[in-house]
Amino acid sequence: MADYRLLSIIVPAFNERNTVGEAIRRVREAPLDIEREVIIVDDGSQDGTLDILRRLSDSTVRVVSYPDNRGKGAAVRRGIEEARGDLIVIQDADLEYDPRDLTRLLRPLLEGQARVVYGSRFTGERRNMFFWHWVGNRFLSLVTNVLFNTTLSDMETCYKMFDGDLLRSLNLSAVRFEFEPEVTATVLRLGERIWEVPITYAGRELHEGKKITWRDGVPALATLLKVRFAPKDSLIR
């Protein structure tokens, strides 16, 4: 059994005033067999999200903010810098992912079976996503499997949980949505095996505020190739 005592939950948020309050409520109430801290990184929101976040701040919820929008990758990396936990997980603020599933991600880590656990949207209950989003996700997962000799079903999932020391040791530079392929490719290139568990997924539609588009697939593919052929010593701090 691994000796993990604190889970840092990083919540990047950009213009999520309609959902962030409920997302944090669910994170606070999620049944976890470990202490938690919540780090919310407001990424230059202009819709009043930051005002809501300041009201949510307490002894277990910390809020940091950027004055302008820098991208999800930059927000997550800031959260990693702020995190004190033995374990770190990313939780989106848009209600697509259910914090009750965090216990599923925790189990393999607490039992010492893995140091990296992903929640797969393709093996659990889900609201069906748009066809071209599905194609893009499956294609990028296939490319990841070919490049790194693995069998991931959902490389692009936002539910990723890591051993804290491992994640902090990675030399990450992603600014936008290429964070997902960068962190995945980096841990695989360094020889880590990723454990997958099924999660529920309630994907948003464009009119509900979904931000990632097919255009983000090009830098994702480029990032996978870049990391695959990078010297290993350049991938760690």
Per-residue pLDDT of 142-177, as tens digits, reads: 999 999 999 999 999 999 999 999 999 999 999 998
Confidence of residue 129 (pLDDT cuts 50, 70, 90): low
Three-state DSSP at 144 gives helix
From residue 135, give the alpha-carbon distance in Å to each of 46, 71, 111, 131, 155.
32, 24, 34, 6, 13
CATH superfamily ID and name for 6-235: Spore Coat Polysaccharide Biosynthesis Protein SpsA; Chain A (3.90.550.10)
Instruction: Report the chain's terminal Cα–Cα distance, integer Å.
Output: 27
Q: What is the pTM of this model?
A: 0.91
From 174, 191, 193, select the one nearest 232 (Cα to Cα).
Answer: 191
pLDDT for the residue numbered 178: 95
Q: How far, in Å, CA of 120 to CA of 223, rounded?
A: 21
Determine how many CB atoms are found less than 10 A away from the CB of residue 103. 15
The pLDDT mean for the chain works out to 91
**pLDDT surpasses 70 at 210:** no
pLDDT in the model for residue 127 = 57
* C-alpha R_g of the chain: 17
Confidence of residue 187 (pLDDT cuts 50, 70, 90): very high
What residues does each domain of the chain span? 6-235
pLDDT per residue over 18-38, tens digit each?
Answer: 999 999 999 999 999 999 999
Q: What is the arithmetic mean of pLDDT over 103-121?
A: 96
